[in-house]
Chain A
Amino acid sequence: MSTTAILLFAILGLGFLITFQIAKASEYVGVLKGEKKSFEQSNRVNAFLMVVFLILGLIGIYWCHDLFYHRTLMPYPSASDHGEKIDTMMFITIAITGVVFFITQILLFWFAYKYQYTEKRKAFFYPHNTNWEILWTTVPAIALCVLVGFGLYYWYQVTGNAPEKALQVEVTGKQFSWVYRYPGKDNVYGKKYYRNIDETNNNQLGIIWDDQYSHDDIVTTEALYIVKGQPVKINISSRDVIHDVGLPHFRMKMDAVPGTPTTMYFTPKYTTEEMKKITKNSKFEYEIACDQMCGNGHYSMRGIVKVVTPEEFILWKAKQKPAYLQVFPDKDPANQQKSADSTKPASPPVAAN
């Protein structure tokens, strides 16, 4: 055991001992002074502390807000249209609950102070009052109707069906990373079956290569590329345990459940580059955080989202080689071209027309 640890335990032990001695001494003093007198004294002290706690607490709330608010996501605009709705809902809820919070907490500690024991006062026998009780049943009920109303209004917008023109991306979680798949030019994902998963042969998702639609599918683990201003529909699945696609900057989240595909959709509003300027942070990246406990590497299951302009997206996509061609390089027209070129150097280009 290190010396600092021993020192810490010694201080702790000493603290206990001193507290205990003071506590015992004050009990004896109480007995000497008379039970009633010492009770009245400690009652006054605690009543006073109640109101001190209230005031320091309110200052503390302000101070805490001042320290930490700018480190949250709230001062910056949400990176998606759905996120903006969620932020609006957040502010409505903060306003309503904030009012209730301050009223009830102030009443609680103020009453505790004001109605502390004195010999003169007789407590007021007041067992019930129907009018008051009706009041504080209906007022919260109305406030909640407002919150439920706004909440569900936004909820249906956020969870509605993605528009037809939405960009399709599939995100698959596995212990402990993310795999992204784009359906390619035909905009249809090739079929997959989990028993086809073959890590050694570059088939992380179990894509069925016999399916024609799979041949142009792009599979990448680099980053999730999506386009500013274009709705994106994310098809989410998992390969092993439950994960969760958490996108804090977009205020979106959806579980990845093995055997049960899920989806989310939203429209990105700012490119990664724009967000760097908004947050005044040159290192800014949109991150995907796994939000469902998925094993010992849960905390390291990090993904990157790149929001790009439509032009950048076309360029990026053009550079990607379909997974099919990575597995079967001989099927790659570029390779065939090369081998054809080497055997028949004189023949004219095939794609001239």
Chain B
Amino acid sequence: MSNEAAMHGHPEVVTTHEAHHDEHHVHHHKETFITKYVFSQDHKMIARQFLITGMAWAVIGGLMSVLFRLQLGYPDQSFPILEDLLGRWAKGGKITAETYYALVTMHGTVLVFFVLTGGLSGTFANFLIPLQVGARDMASPFLNMLSYWFFFLASVVMFSSLFVQTGPFSGGWTAYPPLSALGDASPGSKVGVDLWIVSMALFVVSSLLGGLNYISTILNMRTKGMSMTRLPLTIWALFFTAVLGVLSFPVLLSGFILLLFDRHAGTSFYLSDIYIASTQTALPNEGGSAILFQHLFWFLGHPEVYIIILPAMGIVSEVMSVNARKPIFGYMAMVGSLFAIAILAFLVWAHHMFVSGLNPFLGSVFVLLTLLIAIPSAIKVFNWLTTIWKGNIRFTPGMMFSLGFVSLFISGGLTGIFLGNSTLDIHLHDTYFVIAHFHIVMGVAGFFGMFAGIYHWFPKMFGRFMNNTMSYIHFWVTMIGSYLIFWPMHYEGLAGMPRRYLDYSNWLSFNQFNDLNKFISTVAMVVFAVQLLFLFNFFYSIFKGRKVTVKNPWGSTTLEWTTPIIAGHGNWPGEIPEVHRWAYDYSKDGREYISQTEPVTPDEKPH
């Protein structure tokens, strides 16, 4: 199917690309508010829908963390305002255990899936793939639209679960059965889990519809001359991300469906030998394995962290190269390391289960495979460092967040070497060390990639610039705050302090960090407030930001900057440009940059 046909979705316009391009601009679709902003099939609008939904979730998820950090930082204080807000969930102004566990569970679910998967991949895959490969739209704009609306539906179901009487799911975002299977073991495991599973199932559908679309667009709809090795690294990263999602999300769904059967159909996939004290009954289930769920869950769960971090890596590579005014160092090594990470992502899941009673030999295989990931990761870090070496760096907000990403990726990546080594994992498993590790390397770094992307492509998305001063305040407070929050947590982890505890005051071994917990909670609130400043900057700039006056404000080589400042549906008014070179000809032959659309001159040195 040609690009034009894909865009319009009318079988009668299936004509060849060449024959059609001249009259393209005369197509006038009557666009109503509904087709333009709500049920839009334009990838750029769908990207914005994903982004803004993701932002709404980020505020909710972030606010949840502020609430439970209040409890962790000030366990013996009461906050009457919480009772005003949450009612019986914060009786007497104190977060109850039930509320606390619901908050941490929802915080994890929302940020991992709805913000850093839906919000990150959904936004940038949709926005960048057609623009950077040179396509009018996705392979199937209709499925793309469905992908967003399934995401929206998943959001509605998840949000509604916050309001059920027995409370939302509260067994941790990993939803390990039997806790998640037995309503009698925890009130949060009553109807809250059912809604959680339904929402996640809808999310998986959304993710598959999107992922298949991304893959087919990248493979089939590149413009003339855009060979795979001329693709910007963003596209490579989004490509591997989509492959990971398509291969691993169905496994998660199967795990959830078995869980649903155990909950309601009397099956025993995960349940065995259980006596419930609250009802004084022994359950009839025998022969199931609770560990089976962990295998199914982490078969997605581990690739999931790469689903979050790969797009961020792609964005950072691109933004860094543009603003260092240098080609990305070792393009093929960057693609190769993305590929290696994508393969290894499927072979390391059991490192989350070293202390689950896993056979030690099997554990050792997973240690080896897990630590192998450090090699492609090291290649990426050194290549980024070499990219800025001898550059001419412009500290745009996007560039700042890219540099911040590399710093966080180093810090969080190195602690992964501790946890991936089963010997150390025995001590560190499920302590604050783990919290510190994955928040730095996946959470904050993922967010930094997302911020870099938002700041860098905001002019393309909305035709305006964001305010720089607010952007720099946003960067520095977030950067310093993230380290202040998560760096000291490593020490709590080395003290063996377990995660997911409401209160440490009754413990002799873990109550020595009261002052630190208070400090962390305070910084977390400041960092959250600064994210609100970012949101304000974002929405204010959509309407009032400084207008973009040139097509290519960053002096970038890639195709999206050859479209009009406000590109309509179809992206290029005339013919889709042809590509003649790779995406990274910066400062070559004494020229600032050479666009991908510029033919190679005979006397030009090959890179």
* A→B interface (CB under 8 Å): 1-2, 5, 12, 15-16, 19-20, 22-24, 26-27, 30-31, 39, 42-43, 46-47, 49-50, 53, 57, 60-61, 64-65, 68-69, 71-74, 83, 85-86, 89-90, 93, 97, 100-101, 104-105, 107-109, 111-112, 115-118, 121-129, 132-133, 136-137, 140-141, 144, 147-148, 150-152, 154-156, 158-160, 174-175, 194-195, 197, 199, 206, 239-242, 244, 246, 248-249, 251-255, 257-262, 283-285, 287, 289-300, 302
B349 sits at the interface (CB 8 A):
no
Bound complex: CA A104 to CA B383 (Å) = 11
Contacts of B407 in A (CB 8 A): 105, 108-109
B343 sits at the interface (CB 8 A):
no
Closest residue on chain A to residue B508 by CB atoms = A285
Bound complex: CA A319 to CA B520 (Å) = 48
Q: Select A296's contact among B98, B367, B378, B512, beta carbons within 8 Å.
A: B98
B430–A246 CB distance below 8 A: yes
Residues 274-297 of B at the A interface (beta carbon under 8 Å): 274-278, 280, 282, 286-291
Contacts of B355 in A (CB 8 A): 244, 253-255
Instruction: Give the total of B residues in contact with A, Cβ under 8 Å.
Output: 135
Bound complex: CA A241 to CA B272 (Å) = 10
Do A125 and B327 contact each other (CB < 8 Å), given the known contacts A24-B467, A27-B546, A291-B431? yes
Contacts of A23 in B (CB 8 A): 467-470, 473, 537
Taking the closest CB of chain B, its distance from the CB of A130, in whole angstroms, is 9
| A-B residue pairs, 5 tightest by C-beta | A248-B496, A259-B272, A262-B357, A299-B501, A124-B390
Q: Select B291's contact among A19, A24, A260, beta carbons within 8 Å.
A: A260
Contacts of A42 in B (CB 8 A): 395, 468, 472
B325–A123 CB distance below 8 A: yes
B266 sits at the interface (CB 8 A):
no
B501–A248 CB distance below 8 A: no
A108–B357 CB distance below 8 A: no
Q: Select A125's contact among B79, B179, B516, B587, beta carbons within 8 Å.
A: B587
Residue from the set B371, B375, B498 with the largest chain A CB neighbour count within 10 Å: B498
Do A127 and B584 contact each other (CB < 8 Å), given the known contacts A117-B393, A144-B372, A155-B367? yes
Closest residue on chain B to residue A87 by CB atoms = B427
A296–B101 CB distance below 8 A: yes
B55 sits at the interface (CB 8 A):
no
A104–B178 CB distance below 8 A: no
Bound complex: CA A324 to CA B516 (Å) = 48
Closest residue on chain B to residue A24 by CB atoms = B467
B13 sits at the interface (CB 8 A):
no
Bound complex: CA A234 to CA B589 (Å) = 70
Contacts of B113 in A (CB 8 A): none
Contacts of B503 in A (CB 8 A): 299-300
Known: A151-B367, A156-B364. 12 other contacts (CB 8 A): A47-B395, A68-B488, A97-B415, A104-B410, A117-B392, A141-B375, A147-B371, A175-B277, A195-B282, A253-B429, A255-B356, A260-B290
Do A260 and B470 contact each other (CB < 8 Å), given the known contacts A46-B395, A73-B494? no
Residue from the set A5, A137, A262, A296 with the largest chain B CB neighbour count within 10 Å: A296
Can you list 24 contacts pairing A with B, beta carbon distance less than 8 Å?
A27-B468, A39-B394, A73-B494, A105-B411, A107-B385, A112-B393, A115-B393, A116-B393, A123-B325, A140-B374, A155-B422, A159-B363, A195-B275, A239-B277, A240-B275, A241-B182, A257-B290, A259-B272, A259-B274, A283-B508, A295-B179, A296-B97, A296-B101, A299-B500
Contacts of B487 in A (CB 8 A): 60-61, 64
Contacts of B488 in A (CB 8 A): 64, 68
Contacts of A73 in B (CB 8 A): 494-496
B507 sits at the interface (CB 8 A):
yes
Contacts of B607 in A (CB 8 A): 125, 127-128
Contacts of A19 in B (CB 8 A): 470, 473, 533
Q: Select A140's contact among B324, B375, B386, B536, beta carbons within 8 Å.
A: B375
Q: Select B385's contact among A69, A111, A117, A249, beta carbons within 8 Å.
A: A111
The contact string, 1 if C-beta is below 8 Å from chain A, for chain B 579-607, is: 00000101111100000000000000001
B274–A125 CB distance below 8 A: no
B495–A72 CB distance below 8 A: yes
Taking the closest CB of chain A, its distance from the CB of B86, in whole angstroms, is 13
Q: Select A85's contact among B84, B170, B423, B533, beta carbons within 8 Å.
A: B423
Closest residue on chain B to residue A254 by CB atoms = B355
B267 sits at the interface (CB 8 A):
no
Contacts of B286 in A (CB 8 A): 259
Could you say which of B34-42, B238-246, B328-336 contacts chain A?
B328-336
B389–A115 CB distance below 8 A: yes
Contacts of B333 in A (CB 8 A): 128, 133
B587–A292 CB distance below 8 A: no
Could you say which of B45-53, B152-160, B253-261, B475-483 contacts chain A?
B475-483
B417–A93 CB distance below 8 A: yes
The contact string, 1 if C-beta is below 8 Å from chain A, for chain B 510-552, is: 1011001000000000000100110011001000001000000
Contacts of A194 in B (CB 8 A): 273-275, 282
Q: Select A291's contact among B328, B430, B472, beta carbons within 8 Å.
A: B430
Contacts of A283 in B (CB 8 A): 508
B417–A152 CB distance below 8 A: no
B422–A46 CB distance below 8 A: no
Closest residue on chain B to residue A297 by CB atoms = B97
Taking the closest CB of chain A, its distance from the CB of B482, in whole angstroms, is 12
A118–B81 CB distance below 8 A: no
A293–B500 CB distance below 8 A: yes
B80 sits at the interface (CB 8 A):
yes
Residue from the set A61, A115, A287, A302 with the largest chain B CB neighbour count within 10 Å: A115
Q: Select A68's contact among B418, B491, B584, beta carbons within 8 Å.
A: B491
Do A242 and B468 contact each other (CB < 8 Å), given the known contacts A93-B421, A258-B273, A299-B502? no
B164 sits at the interface (CB 8 A):
no
Do A137 and B371 contact each other (CB < 8 Å), given the known contacts A258-B273, A287-B508, A298-B500? no
Bound complex: CA A259 to CA B364 (Å) = 24
Closest residue on chain B to residue A25 by CB atoms = B469
B252 sits at the interface (CB 8 A):
no
Contacts of A111 in B (CB 8 A): 385, 388-389, 391
Taking the closest CB of chain A, its distance from the CB of B167, in whole angstroms, is 10
Do A289 and B496 contact each other (CB < 8 Å), given the known contacts A46-B472, A152-B367, A257-B290? yes
